[in-house]
Structure 1
Amino acid sequence: MKVELFDFHLPEELIAQTPLEERTNSRLMVLDKKTGEVKHEIFKDITNYLQPGDCLVLNDTRVLPARLYGVKEETGAKIEVLLLKQKEGDRWETLVKPAKRVKAGTVIAFGDGLLTAVCTEESDHGGRVLDFKYEGIFYEVLEDLGEMPLPPYIKEQLDDRERYQTVFAKERGSAAAPTAGLHFTESLLEEIRAKGVHIAFITLHVGLGTFRPVSVDSIDEHEMHAEFYQVTEGTARLLNEVKEQGGRIISVGTTSTRTLETIARDHGGRFEEASGWTDIFIFPGFEFRAIDGMVTNFHLPKSTLVMLVSALAGRENVLKAYEAAVEERYRFFSFGDAMLII
């Protein structure tokens, strides 16, 4: 299947640069995955489409202020570092710019030496393994020195870094937000619970693969980056009970979807307590075993995220819905509007 099949025209001015003042005031497109019928709503009205006994599954990962600006100790050259994945202890996989200035043995200082790092390994495309040294608690130092790693298509500065976190963000480890969850507030979640809808949490730490374009012509040639996930025994038990009692499992975001489908694939269609790394790639032809519906944002043309959504609702249905979203001036990407597929 050709990647070009998932292309569509997106005017640049529809890429949302800032979040709305009120999270739940985003628009909500409701897409019937069987008929392709589209309805236009406001996100706070999502409760009208949820039924008692359903389960909404949220990703509780928390974004690290993972972008650091430092200087090369030897020369004073400016270096930008993006934390990707903790290997062990204070050793991290990172992306470095400009990579040509950072070789094995290079020392980088951040915040007048409050934090330093030594490069221990080099890899392609700016990848570097850094060993960090500091006093105190690493995450507290990071909160002081780091910046929120907003996607490259967002050019505006973010005044409040918590707006790039979900209200339920808890488990630190992501390089990007699970953006479908940004639309929820505590009061909306309480309203959903009051309707008899279960709410469950999983964790998947979002990596930078989310932003990387598909650089091959055929979907079969694309390789997904692995991301860490975790599902607790309590969540697994709740999800199994919902399925057994005929309720629907509605995932919030592509990250929750990939986690749940990984678990179901590995455990014969059931949910089990599990953790590990997933590189599952979901595109049309995929057999869904975990979810019945999904909340998601509007994604980049020819991206793996559009392919995942198309696997659930059908490529033609999704592209027609996206065409309608452009015509109706929906806001796209991380700070944009939402879609409910049921």
Structure 2
Amino acid sequence: MKTSDFKFDLPHELIAQVPIKDRSASRLMVLDRETGEVEHRIFRDIKEYLNPGDCLVLNDTRVIPARLIGEKVDTGGKIEFLLLKRNEDDTWESLVKPGKRAKIGTKFSFGEGKLIGEVVGMAEEGARIIKFHYDGIFEEILDELGNMPLPPYITEKLEEKERYQTVYSKHEGSAAAPTAGLHFTNELLDEIRAMGVETAFVTLHVGLGTFRPVKVENVLEHEMHSEFYMVTQEAADKINNAKKNGKRVICVGTTSCRTIESAADENGMMSEKSGWTNIFIYPGYKFKVLDNLITNFHLPESTLIMLVSALAGKENVLNAYEKAVEEKYRFFSFGDAMFIK
């Protein structure tokens, strides 16, 4: 299986730069994975495709303002940190630009000394291990000094930080938003619950590795970055009950999908669990828990388009993407949605 098998042409103007005002007014393409047929709807119409007893699985991670702009302590040279992962010893794996300034032992200042970051080690793919020095509570300082770590294909300034958070975000720790969930409003979720649909919240702290391009031509040679996940007993019970009752488990986003597929046992049953996952789902994968998926439109040759192709078939997905381009759907993080039924 080749990475180039998942390539498609995307006009740059279809990459959504800003979120639309009404979250639930984005467009929704409905893809039938059996026939390959598509329907064109509005996202709030998702209610028409849900049934009582179904379980909607949502990732309640919260994005931290992980982008820090500062300067080198001794020279004043500008530096940018992107915090990726907090380690158990309270250091952070971080991307640093320009990396040549970030040698081990170098210190950087943020917010006129409110936060000092010291490079104490090296990590994978040129990332650095950073130890921070500060007075007070780190999260509060980060909230004051940090910016939202928008993907590089978004060049417009984000006016409201909360528009890069889901309305149900709870547990801080992500370097990127679980973007399929950005389409839900509290009102829409209330309407869905009133229909008798269960909502189960799991947590997966999204790392930037999820969005990185695959750099090898042989898909099987690609290594996924690990991400931390948590499944509560309450969420596990809701998912198990849906399966036992012959109802569907519908994941909101690839991160929710990867969480439950990582946490399930061989029989597709869930229990309370947490840990690190580097699960890589591509065509040929047999889903243990997931039945249907709500997702955004993904980058060419990415692990995410491989995941949706595993569920709906590569030809169906690429044909649907071709139609999305023709119909001028909005792509990527702030773009429109797809429901794979």
SS at match of 1:333: coil
1:204-283 pair list within 5 angstroms = 204-264=204-264, 266-283=265-282
Aligned position for 1:161: 161
Q: CA deviation at 1:126?
A: 3.2
Do the aligned residues in 2 keep the contact of 1:15 with 1:331 (CA within 8 Å)? yes
Quick one: structure 1 residues 245 and 93, their matched pair in 2 at CA, closer, same or farther if it must change by over 3 Å?
A: same
* Cα distance in structure 2, aligned partners of 1:341 and 1:154: 26
Do the aligned residues in 2 keep the contact of 1:15 with 1:332 (CA within 8 Å)? yes
Q: Partner letter of residue 51 of structure 2?
A: Q
Identity of aligned residues (%): 63
1:91-240 pair list within 5 angstroms = 91-123=91-123, 125-240=125-240
Do the aligned residues in 1 keep the contact of 2:214 with 2:222 (CA within 8 Å)? yes
Q: CA deviation at 1:263?
A: 1.4
Q: Partner letter of residue 261 of structure 1?
A: E
Q: Partner letter of residue 241 of structure 1?
A: N
Aligned residues: 341
Q: Within the alignment, does 1:47 sit opposite 2:81 as a pair?
A: no
Aligned position for 2:3: 3
Aligned position for 2:75: 75
Do the aligned residues in 2 keep the contact of 1:90 with 1:133 (CA within 8 Å)? no
Aligned position for 2:88: 88
Deviations 1:172-222 (A, max 9, x none): 000000000000000000000011100000000000102211000010110
Do the aligned residues in 2 keep the contact of 1:63 with 1:165 (CA within 8 Å)? yes
TM-score w.r.t. the length of structure 2 is: 0.99
Do the aligned residues in 2 keep the contact of 1:254 with 1:305 (CA within 8 Å)? yes
Aligned position for 2:22: 22
* Cα distance in structure 1, aligned partners of 2:297 and 2:173: 24
SS at match of 2:139: helix
Do the aligned residues in 2 keep the contact of 1:299 with 1:305 (CA within 8 Å)? yes
Deviations 1:288-327 (A, max 9, x none): 1111000000000111000000000000000110000000
* Cα distance in structure 2, aligned partners of 1:155 and 1:79: 19
* Cα distance in structure 2, aligned partners of 1:190 and 1:53: 15
Q: Partner letter of residue 77 of structure 2?
A: A
Aligned position for 1:292: 291
Do the aligned residues in 2 keep the contact of 1:97 with 1:126 (CA within 8 Å)? no
Q: CA deviation at 1:238?
A: 1.3
Do the aligned residues in 2 keep the contact of 1:295 with 1:340 (CA within 8 Å)? yes
TM-score w.r.t. the length of structure 1 is: 0.98
SS at match of 1:281: coil
Deviations 1:266-309 (A, max 9, x none): 45321111100000000000001111000000000111000000
Do the aligned residues in 2 keep the contact of 1:29 with 1:339 (CA within 8 Å)? yes
Q: Partner letter of residue 166 of structure 2?
A: T
Unmatched 5+ stretches in structure 2: none
Do the aligned residues in 1 keep the contact of 2:167 with 2:186 (CA within 8 Å)? yes
* Cα distance in structure 1, aligned partners of 2:262 and 2:123: 28
